Amino acid sequence: MEIRASVNIPAPAEHVWAVFTDNLQWQYWYGVEVSFNTWNGGRSITFAEHDGIAETECPISGYVEGETLTIDGKFGSDTYTVRPDGEGCEFSRTARFRPGMSMPPAAQEKQSAQWKEELERLGKLVVSNYAPRPLPEGATEIPDRFFRHFKALEEYDIPEGVTRIGEEAFYNCKVRRLTIPDSVTGIGRSAFGGCFDLESITLPAGLEVLPDFAFSYCTKLKELKLPAGLKRAGRGAFKACRALRELVLPEGLVAIGNSAFFQCDSLKEITLPRSLSEPGECLFHDCMNLERVILSEGMEILPGGSFHKCRNLKEVRIPESVKEIGPIVFGECSSLKELRIPSGVTEIKQLLCYKCASLTSIVIPPGVKKIGENAFRDCTGLTDLTLPDGVEMADNAFAGCTNLSNVKCPEALVDKFPGTPVYYRKHGLCQHCGGELKGLFGKKCQKCGKPKDY
């Protein structure tokens, strides 16, 4: 037994297939949960049986004439087919039940009608996504969401005379190359967000503000030249631009929003300009291949989460002008070997360097008065530590630092370093293993046999 619904769509079959695979929104079909994965421009169907069978991914290739997509469920299969038909194409959906499964005729008819409505709605979306969208002659702006989800736009030169690009104007377009004339002075939020195929874009020379999420998820964008007069870049401006290899931030840039470079995986080195006075939090969070960062003298605040999970970060020089370092700035920077804290810093906040496994030594400057929760937790490579007099420290600030062997700290803090030589010496134990020392003349360790040597 089967249920079938089909519609004729006045558009090329490849357009129908492209829009269909970009807009799959599955619920439950006969015991199978299905979702379409478009993350980073990928194309795959993910489905999982409800009885606990592991999830599976199936790739969707480019359109081939007569191509079908079939999803097998516990009670039947669901097949979608796109076939050329006259000047357009036929788009159909067919459900076939497994032996022993059935549905009353009235329910079948109702289901077929519902599916036909869904296919017709998708057909309208296909037409709207590929129909020409010329700007009116003499237009001075590209309206909000004007090219949003538009598929028939691979290259585009914005006409001279346009002064504003609206919010989400090109959001999730298939555009590969864009040229913006110098007449443009304003760009709206997420104007180019989700343009997974965008490889090249020219920005206007007079642009001063780059909005929030301007290029978020432009995953193929490799290079971008920022205007010399740029003053502000919004939050998430380059979020998940995974192919971005190099970016020069111009001198004169004053502010960068939160998570501006989140998951810029190809970025290896960057210099923050001297003019930057308003850096946002989590600027380079999860930039997995970032190796070197240059912070210019004059910077006063290093915000929280700035380099969190930059696992290949090997070198960062914090200028003496920095007076405040936020929490989790270097958390999980597992390749960071050395860190010098500026003398003007008075507090080391929570989780500053947790899980920095390659960090071997650190000197806390005399001006530091407080070390927060888990600040250096699980820094398993840390062997040498010097703490100044008068510093207050959370009990777990160095928890999990299992290789600490040379700790210099105030007497009041010694008990916060159990298992270290300084702790053993305070309590009259063998400084090598913590064993009990015995003997009237020349005490020896009852555990390792070594003589007392302090």
How confident is the model at residue 315, as a pLDDT?
A: 85
pLDDT at 348: 97
- Report the distance separating Cα 83 and Cα 452, nearest Å: 87
**144 exposure class (CB count in 10 Å sphere: 0-12, 13-18, 19+):** middle
d(C-alpha 314, C-alpha 338), whole Å: 8
The reported pTM is: 0.76
CA distances from 404 to 151, 301, 384, 454 (A): 58, 30, 6, 18
* CATH fold group of domain 2-130: Alpha-D-Glucose-1,6-Bisphosphate; Chain A, domain 4 (3.30.530)
What pLDDT score was predicted for residue 118? Answer: 85
Q: Can you give the pLDDT at residue 123?
A: 86
Residue 126 gets which letter from DSSP? H
Question: What are residue 48's phi and psi, to 5 degrees?
Answer: -145, 130
Structure tokens at 25: 């929104």
Specify the DSSP element, H or E, that contains 34: strand 32-37
Instruction: Give the residue extent of every domain in the chain.
Output: 2-130, 291-417, 425-454
Whether the domain at 2-130 and the domain at 291-417 fall into the same CATH topology? no
Q: What is the DSSP letter of 246?
A: B
Per-residue pLDDT at 279:
96
- 215-227, pLDDT tens digit by residue? 999 999 998 999 9
Helix 105-130, helix 13-22: angle, nearest 10: 100
Residue 174's pLDDT is what?
87
> According to the model, what pLDDT value does residue 67 have?
64
Residues of the chain short of pLDDT 70, as ranges, are 21-67, 71-75
Q: Which CATH superfamily is domain 291-417 in?
A: Ribonuclease Inhibitor (3.80.10.10)
Distance separating alpha carbons of residues 19 and 5, to the nearest angstrom:
18
284: left (phi > 0), else alpha (psi -120 to 50), else beta? alpha
> Rounded to an integer, what is the distance from CA 313 to the centroid of its chain?
16
